[in-house]
Amino acid sequence: MPARVDVVKARGKRPTEAFNSDKLRHSVIATCLSLRTPEGQAEEIAKSVCDGVLRWSSHRQEITSDDIRRIGADILEKQHPEAAYLYNIIVIGSGAGGSPAASIAARSGKRVAIIEKDEFGGESPNWGEIPLGSMLHAAHIYDTAKQSATFGLRTSTIGYNYPSLLSWRDTAIKRTGAAGNRRYYEKQGISAFSGAAHFLSPNEISVNRRHLSAKKFLIATGSEWQIPDIPGIAETPYHTPKTILNLTRPPKSLFIIGSDSTATEIACLMSIFGTKVYLSDPSTRILPNYDSDVSELLSDQLQTQRGMTVLPQTKVVAVQKEGLQKRITYTKSGTERTVKVDELLIADDRIPSTDMGLENAGVSYTHHGISVDQNLQTSARHIYAAGACVHPTAATHDILMQSRVAASNMLKTKPIVVEAHVPLQVTRTHPGVARVGLSEDDCLRRDLRVKTSVAPLTLTPRSNITDQRLGFVKLIADKKGALLGATVVAPHASEMIHELALAVRHNMTAHDLFSTPHEFSSWSEAIRVAASKLL
């Protein structure tokens, strides 16, 4: 071995001293003792690790700090597997893809760490379904109350207090327990770290200059809103769905780029509270993931009842800040037009969050997301990935299931696979929209021969009772009557869809639905009526 072996740190800064094996020996002993290894055995393990590292470095003039950790961990894992890494499992991301897996692993007795670069709890409780859903619920109550004169009720003092509405939103967020709360994880024995994780090697990451190692990892970093390359966007203030709900009052006017479920929900929320909304999308219709009959019905309702301006087949070509307002220039049908608004919301495409040094860990990915197999394993077999970092538009209910599958596969020797799920989507407008399984557009693309039935809500007693007459239930079945898909447009679409999800998942027939009792004056009676049309 040369007289001196210099250690080069990860960032290329050379220390003044040569490599000191005593530091490594003391570190290994401390780790072993923390795992209740007998002191004599800890000394022997530490000696084996140090001797192995020294043998490896004997023909090298320079070694890196990463080399020491990597070689030392390899030797230590053979001697004492539990002491090789600081943690058994590190979960990167504390949202729907990370939290369940971390909790499951901790309950199984593993040493677990969870890392969050934003708010603990992730998107859903902090700026996603929970805050938006709580505000939409209040908005729908307010909207319904304004129609109460229809039923002979006097409502001359109906109004709203937006700061109080925001207070209710915060209450709903707090009740989840996980939102912004690192103690939620620490109470479970999970080490919680704030900061962005970056892979240094296949088994080591850095978080705020702190190095953490683990035998296995789960990446659940989610996705983020993609900001389009529009002239002037860098100089113009804008919102995404993550920030728009933090406004202290509804804007007088709002231009929205994108018309998926989240964008349309926000459009409805703001319009109920008096905002003039422009809802734009480059697609031929709004809510492009639904069939055209859904888009047409909602588009008409948003314009006639909500006062929105709906702009399909629209491309924003420039934005500019003018005082407190924003000038939006867009083209539609070959004509360039301009509108001034108070606020701009970008809610179009989402991209996976993958900026964490995945190359250093040997994890393959594309701009579409991290590549995984049916067991949620990446190209680095000890690293798993789940959720929106794999599929940027994944729904929360699917992400939760993936998190549980990933946890099981990290803990057990016999892996389980992610089942081919029945796609389910919900949009919390008023009326609501939900779909499961195949749409008519899907069937056309696959050249499937199907039967379709539509039951307008006006055929149900519930519609007459409530004076809510806008909507329908649509069922799609194959030639033998087996259900392939369904769409619901109704006041409680998000609840009604689950009966249909069960039917589609288990290949039930229209006759099965028709022969199932449905309370006569419920919204679900529309499901029975639609099923009867397929018999």
pLDDT at 207: 96
Is the separation of the CB atoms in 352 and 389 below 8 Å?
yes
Residue 1 lies in a domain: no
Instruction: Specify whether 99 is located in the same domain as 127.
Output: no
Instruction: Judge whether residue 277 has pLDDT over 70.
Output: yes
Instruction: Specify whether 220 is located in the same domain as 296.
Output: no
Residue where a domain terminates, one of 347, 373, 393:
347
Instruction: Specify whether 78 is located in the same domain as 193.
Output: no
How would residue 247 be classed by pLDDT, with cut points 50, 70 and 90? very high
Structure confidence by residue, pLDDT tens digits, 19-33 = 667 777 777 777 666
Instruction: Judge whether residue 493 has pLDDT over 70.
Output: yes
Q: Which of 180-189, 311-320, 470-479 has the lowest mean pLDDT?
A: 180-189
pLDDT at 61: 65
How would residue 155 be classed by pLDDT, with cut points 50, 70 and 90? confident
Instruction: Judge whether residue 7 has pLDDT over 60.
Output: no
Going by the DSSP 8-state scheme, the letter that residue 237 receives in this structure is -
Instruction: Judge whether residue 59 has pLDDT over 90.
Output: no
Instruction: Specify whether 479 is located in the same domain as 516.
Output: yes
3 state DSSP class of 7: strand
CA distance 90 to 102: 8
Average pLDDT, integer, range 248-261: 98
Instruction: Specify whether 430 is located in the same domain as 491.
Output: yes
pLDDT at 18: 61
pLDDT at 85: 76
Inter-residue long-range contacts of 248-253, CB under 8 Å, 24+ positions, other chains counted: 248/162, 248/163, 248/166, 249/162, 250/162, 250/274, 250/275, 251/275, 251/341, 251/342, 251/343, 252/276, 252/342, 253/277, 253/278, 253/340, 253/341, 253/342, 253/343
Q: Which has the closest alpha carbon to 213: 354, 409, 361? A: 361
What separation in angstroms does the CA of 116 have from each of 91, 95, 314, 350, 353?
A: 9, 9, 37, 19, 12
Structure confidence by residue, pLDDT tens digits, 464-480 = 999 999 999 999 999 99
pLDDT at 149: 87
Average pLDDT, integer, range 361-374: 97
Residue 103 lies in a domain: yes
How would residue 328 be classed by pLDDT, with cut points 50, 70 and 90? very high
Domains of the chain: total = 5
How would residue 406 be classed by pLDDT, with cut points 50, 70 and 90? very high
pTM of the predicted protein model: 0.86
State which residues form the domain around 281.
233-347
How would residue 181 be classed by pLDDT, with cut points 50, 70 and 90? confident
Is the separation of the CB atoms in 378 and 75 below 8 Å?
no
Is the separation of the CB atoms in 225 and 240 below 8 Å?
yes
Structure confidence by residue, pLDDT tens digits, 285-306 = 999 999 999 999 999 999 999 9
The burial class, CB within 10 Å (0-12 / 13-18 / 19+), for 277 is: buried
Instruction: Specify whether 246 is located in the same domain as 356.
Output: no
Instruction: Judge whether residue 261 has pLDDT over 60.
Output: yes
Domain CATH for 432: 3.30.390.30
Mean pLDDT (the chain, rounded):
91
Instruction: Specify whether 68 is located in the same domain as 109.
Output: no
Instruction: Specify whether 215 is located in the same domain as 98.
Output: yes
Instruction: Judge whether residue 46 has pLDDT over 90.
Output: no
Domain CATH for 242: 3.50.50.60
Q: Which of 74-88, 173-187, 335-349, 439-453 has the lowest mean pLDDT?
A: 74-88
How would residue 4 be classed by pLDDT, with cut points 50, 70 and 90? very low
Instruction: Specify whether 193 is located in the same domain as 143.
Output: no
Instruction: Specify whether 219 is located in the same domain as 95.
Output: yes
Q: Which of 233-237, 329-333, 413-417 has the lowest mean pLDDT?
A: 413-417
Neighbouring-strand partners of residue 64: 8
Residue 214 lies in a domain: yes
pLDDT at 353: 98
Residue 24 lies in a domain: yes
pLDDT at 10: 47
Instruction: Judge whether residue 205 has pLDDT over 90.
Output: yes
CA distance 377 to 363: 10
Is the separation of the CB atoms in 257 and 316 below 8 Å?
yes
Residue 416 lies in a domain: no
Neighbouring-strand partners of residue 321: 326
Residue where a domain terminates, one of 29, 64, 83:
83
Residue 502 lies in a domain: yes
Instruction: Judge whether residue 191 has pLDDT over 90.
Output: yes
Residue 243 lies in a domain: yes
Q: Which of 41-45, 199-203, 328-332, 458-462 has the lowest mean pLDDT?
A: 41-45
pLDDT at 55: 78
Q: Which has the closest alpha carbon to 289: 323, 253, 270, 264? A: 264
CA distance 389 to 224: 9
The burial class, CB within 10 Å (0-12 / 13-18 / 19+), for 360 is: middle
Instruction: Specify whether 284 is located in the same domain as 327.
Output: yes
Instruction: Specify whether 183 is located in the same domain as 251.
Output: no
Rounded to an integer, what is the distance from CA 515 to the centroid of its chain?
A: 37
Is the separation of the CB atoms in 168 and 138 below 8 Å?
yes
CA distance 307 to 303: 5
Residue 395 lies in a domain: yes
Q: What percent of the chain has pLDDT over 90?
A: 78
